[in-house]
Structure 1
Amino acid sequence: MPGDVLLLSNSRPPGGAEPFAHAREVLARHLGDRTAWFLPYAQADHDAYFSWVRDALGVDLRPLHREPDPAATAAAADAVFVGGGNTFRLLHDVRRLGVLEALRANDACRYTGSSAGTNLACPTVRTTNDMPIVDPGGLDALARVPFQVNPHYLDPDPASTHQGETREERIREFHEVDDVQVVGLREGAWLHRSGEHLTLDGNSARLFRQGEEPLELTPGTDVSWLISS
């Protein structure tokens, strides 16, 4: 059976709390006593980002970018944590280094993603919010889950004077060309797959399906049907 998956919308909880303060319990439960290799490739300063996350989490976290052969290490890893930043830079670097293919082959590896790292767990990165600052050489990702996620989901604000598309409108545009379900994860929310069970927690989310009105999902909801449908 493929390794369990934890997908966080964000690392910085609202209200000025410490990084990952909202999700430390589920992170500790998900990772257990496993050594987790951290992938900092969504950010420009790999060392600084790794140190920031390691200090915030206080778990056995190792820097994949310092390994002489990151792909070989990823291929044998029991757990990985893929951090946030720019999704296109992340996908570009893990593809260039061979880490993307290594993780595809090592599906028993326990996967944790935050923001851009959550995007990488989807079939593609086509529901990210990021600018394509680099050409990643394709948009296909890891497909650790069979649906798409939109991290940092923002609800339409009727009082806003912004004239661009809302997040909901952009997801509807996605569904003009693709029928894959999309989970809009609000800040503080996460999806945790343990075995054949998938749960939403931390905060609510919205589920978007082609040709249907969005469905509101509340914290604590069992959404295992998303991985079996």
Structure 2
Amino acid sequence: MKVLLISNSTMPGEPYLDYPKYEIQKFLGKKPVTAVFIPYAAVTFSFDTYCEKVEERFVEIGHHIRGIHTFDKPAEAIKNAKAIVVGGGNTWQLARMLNDQKLMEAIAQKVKSGTPYIGWSAGSNITCPTLRTTNDMPITDPKGFDCMNLIPFQINPHYLDENPEGHGGETREQRISEFIEINPSVYVAGLREGTMFLLENNQLGLIGDKTCRIFKKGEQAIELSEGDDFNFLLE
């Protein structure tokens, strides 16, 4: 498989999808690719608007996207895709629409056959075994918590070490501690903003200048950096 899993789309003060664009360019290669883009995680703005935002950045790096909602036969579009890109937004809405369209398994099989996959935020969440380590509200019934299981561990995108000032609720680490208490055999990777995972040739690595925090029940949480070995997460 060839998978690029990005924590977040945009860093403060930057244009949309700006910081990861050259990693996306490197990932897709020099030959122009028109990827099938899945905008289903958009809730408060249209799929067309989402596509325009993503296409603007892809054009800068010599590639293009086409929204899956513009195809008469979405499943066939996935079958013929040269690359698949899944944007962020609400993971519950994304999972619901993928399940409604019967695309969750179709995408998984296509990616497992070698088609490049790029996701950010919600688009990274759905590559995990389940969506249960997402941060967003369950605004709709996803018709099941199971996701594509492209990777055997869980990602928590936008991972934060501290709560916002003045907030007295649980920290992100406390939330993840609850998850691993109930799911003791599963690793969770706290993927900080500005970082991403690259899975290629059965090798998993971190890209970015921040560390990734790894959780598993019964083990001390650890911090790993770009260049460290992450392959144990694939076991």
Query: With structure 1 as the length reference, what TM-score do the two structures score?
Result: 0.93
Which residue of structure 2 lines up, in the alignment, with residue 9 of structure 1?
Answer: 7
Q: Distance in 2 between matches of 1:119 and 1:138?
A: 14
Q: Choose from 65, 70, 79 the match for 1:66.
A: 70
Given that residues 21 and 57 in structure 2 are in contact (C-alpha distance below 8 angstroms), is that contact kept between their aligned partners in structure 1? no
Segments of 5+ residues of structure 1 without an aligned counterpart are none
Q: CA RMSD in A?
A: 1.4
Q: 1:113 Cα shift?
A: 0.5
Given that residues 207 and 216 in structure 1 are in contact (C-alpha distance below 8 angstroms), is that contact kept between their aligned partners in structure 2? yes
Task: Please show how residues 14-93 of structure 1 align to structure 2 within 5 Å.
Answer: 14=12, 16-32=13-29, 33=31, 34-44=33-43, 45-58=46-59, 59-93=63-97
Amino acid at match of 1:141: C
SS of corresponding position for 1:30: helix
Amino acid at match of 2:14: A
1:124-164 residue CA offsets vs partner (Å, 9 max, x unmatched): 1000001000001001000111110000000025x843221
Moved over 6 A (4+): none
Q: 1:79 Cα shift?
A: 1.1
Identity of aligned residues (%): 42
Q: Distance in 1 between matches of 2:81 and 2:38?
A: 12
Segments of 5+ residues of structure 2 without an aligned counterpart are none
Amino acid at match of 1:194: E
Given that residues 197 and 224 in structure 1 are in contact (C-alpha distance below 8 angstroms), is that contact kept between their aligned partners in structure 2? yes
Amino acid at match of 2:55: R
SS of corresponding position for 1:176: helix
1:191-211 residue CA offsets vs partner (Å, 9 max, x unmatched): 001111111011321011112
SS of corresponding position for 2:213: strand
Q: Choose from 140, 157, 161 the match for 2:146.
A: 140
Which residue of structure 2 lines up, in the alignment, with residue 171 of structure 1?
Answer: 176
SS of corresponding position for 1:149: strand
Q: 1:20 Cα shift?
A: 2.4
Given that residues 182 and 208 in structure 1 are in contact (C-alpha distance below 8 angstroms), is that contact kept between their aligned partners in structure 2? yes
Q: 1:62 Cα shift?
A: 1.4
Which residue of structure 1 lines up, in the alignment, with residue 166 of structure 2?
Answer: 161
Query: With structure 2 as the length reference, what TM-score do the two structures score?
Result: 0.91
Q: Distance in 2 between matches of 1:213 and 1:161?
A: 28
SS of corresponding position for 1:6: strand
Given that residues 5 and 193 in structure 1 are in contact (C-alpha distance below 8 angstroms), is that contact kept between their aligned partners in structure 2? yes
Q: 1:105 Cα shift?
A: 2.4
The reply on whether 1:206 has 2:231 as its aligned counterpart is no
1:68-111 residue CA offsets vs partner (Å, 9 max, x unmatched): 01112112323100000000000000111121121122222211
